[in-house]
Amino acid sequence: MDFSKITAAVIGLGLMGGSFAMRLKELGAAVIGINRTLSTAEAALRQGIVDSIDISDLKHTDIVIFCTPAKATLAFVKNHLPDFRSDAIMTDIAGVKGNLADDIRQILPPGMDFISSHPMCGHEGQGLSRADPDIFRGANYILLPDKTNRPESVELLRNMALAFGCRHVPSITPEEHDRHIAY
């Protein structure tokens, strides 16, 4: 996978969002970083973790990664739907999914794709200062596609996770995921 041809947006630049942005940059992707706290986004830009913090650049993104709580993800999609590229692939990393994917898919226009996911990694601490591009190495990265997702979108996420150094990238249903994760 040639990441130099990918533009990714990371929404939420905490521990996980910062880690995604760093790893994507290492792989050669252009990265747009959006955070509710402007000072965090500015810090990511200053540190070279992201290339842009301009929300209008969302229209250039191939993939949008939501590193925010489920309710915040849904609200962001609703509020910024016209800002996304018409064929954008979106994913989230929320720990418990509930109806998030269905709720988002109901509002997406044809052409956009939302595939829920969950990288099974992390470490102590929070915030951009704790971000680590190697956090994904050896981890499992769970994909939760459904029958409406384009196979090439699922494959792009699978290839991204493998390029990040993830060990296994299984696909399961949201119900299976929540049953295992929320146990």
- pLDDT tens digits for range 143-179: 999 899 999 999 999 999 999 999 999 998 766 666 6
pLDDT at 123: 80
Distance, CA of 45 to CA of 34 (rounded, Å): 10
**Lowest-pLDDT range, 3-12, 68-77, 119-128, 174-183?**
174-183
Per-residue confidence band for 100, with pLDDT thresholds at 50, 70 and 90: confident
Give the Å distances, CA to CA, from 71 to 64, 76, 96, 105, 119: 16, 9, 11, 14, 19
What is the phi/psi pair of residue 91, to 5°?
-145, 160
The alpha carbon of 88 is separated from its chain's Cα centroid by a whole number of angstroms, namely 12
Q: Tell me the average pLDDT across 127-144.
A: 95
Who's near 76: CB < 8 A, 6+ residues apart?
Answer: 11, 66, 68
**Cα diameter, the chain:** 41
pLDDT at 178: 66
Pairwise pLDDT comparison (126 vs 19), residue with the higher score: 19
**Topology classification of domain 3-181:** Rossmann fold (3.40.50)
| Dihedral angle over CA of 19, 20, 21, 25, nearest 10 | 100
Calculate the average pLDDT of the chain.
93
Q: Tell me the average pLDDT across 79-102.
A: 89
What is the phi/psi pair of residue 51, to 5°?
-95, -25
pLDDT at 181: 64
